[in-house]
Structure 1
């Protein structure tokens, strides 16, 4: 909660929501009247906004309702870094001013792509079938993934095991292209400016959850909720260091479609644990030798990729489970 200063007529705050978009609130002291927020760029007013929206994230932080607003920086201001200010009745909001990012930022294309996804997630109304590219396995060849030796090692194994498929590196910069082509001599490069670029180059998307879980989860949810053909394989090698019993406890604490909605995804029953259901009922893994280690974890991911590419029934189960989990995550957020 934000407490206004003694002499303030109004009060509020602004936050960077996702690189190029902003959310905040402005409220008059002792009044529910809707306020106008003026937006300034380098001390020049460029816009005026009504603070009359309900934004859950803002309401949770500041305990105010119907006094929120959002602002998307117009593309004409991507040219350089600017000073962005938000004022209400000449009172500057908390966290204002904010320095914007520009096209000169080495991560700008990635930020722009992620910002677009973030803004579109809240507008998802229904599932829709989109384009996909058969026998194409893709991943983000961003710096965090390229420098993750375990992840690159796994991608190399996938390249060898699925020689009938095309390996696709999704990049945002020429530097990323150069680095990934130094590692993989035969790889398809796709520059991402829109989610459709990814859809048109993918049947299976390998997502590395290690480098930024929240950001990666948002991307996973967006792909899953907007495409009924692409399967997302979540690769998180950190799980391989857990004891099986601890892993089971962890996934049992939250919603999991393999236990909570197993009939909706096409299973008639569940086994003693979620791991058993996934590994022994849906994938060809040896129950007698199963243990949660790095090799088994990689085998699980590899088997899920194979099933997504070659087993229609299992692919559908994975797809349904992923969508139910993504729906749950987006509603929770």
Structure 2
């Protein structure tokens, strides 16, 4: 996409956010949540990596083929999970922080996306440049301290705004694929899978506390999915294809322990509420009955030799590891109002006081 088109796209989002803010201020009952703030990796990156020195970019065809045929930097054919949750919340899709000019950031009052492809919970997890979770929180701190007060002048109103916003974190897979598995002799990578999961969760918890200290109260935190079932990890033979269960079993410790860690945080942090997005087990349900969800292909990448498949809705994965918009829609709708993915309750119950 041309640079001028990208600027126009970001400015149009800012204008949409301002109009939504004014409309909701006039009709408070219309407002479901104040804003959506997104932290994470390529699963929810909306284009931050476009502005970084990295090969982990999705700003070229065929990415975005179903996003008005614009490769905005999303690692999908269309919208991400974060985009679709924002839409369900009647919010604009949060723009990438690095895609908003510094002089305009104070005007973005319906949410921002800080997520960055190839990054993880740990600062050592990366391929090329990326926004570590620490860096993402640093930018969020600037949003809260420097930008939002220029639009929300009362400290009491700002505190209420932050408490009534939603915070989505989708991160952790790269701490395995680009760190633990890739560099077995790295710092802490000599830990067994269970101890490594404990270490990651402690690191994640400390960062969630920092977001909480800035005013956040309502969190949706994703578990790590079955990495061994992604096209890049699937075990293929001439007659079959199956998940790499060795990888899945090592990652499973993190996904099983995350709900307990979030419950601990909820006990420690007054007025906090946590949802865990159980993509580990929900993806199994889809694989067990793919046709029920509209899929024909659950192990194959839609993109082959840089060419996308004709019917993206039939594929669970768009590329080597990232889901199609069709998959993201299923997850967003289920987490928003269903009972099988987001626990202990869905987003609707979270934002309406459980």
Q: Same fold (TM over 0.5)?
A: no
So what's the TM-score if we normalise by structure 2?
0.31
Structure number with larger C-alpha Rg? 1
Which one has a larger percent strand, Structure 1 or Structure 2?
Answer: 1
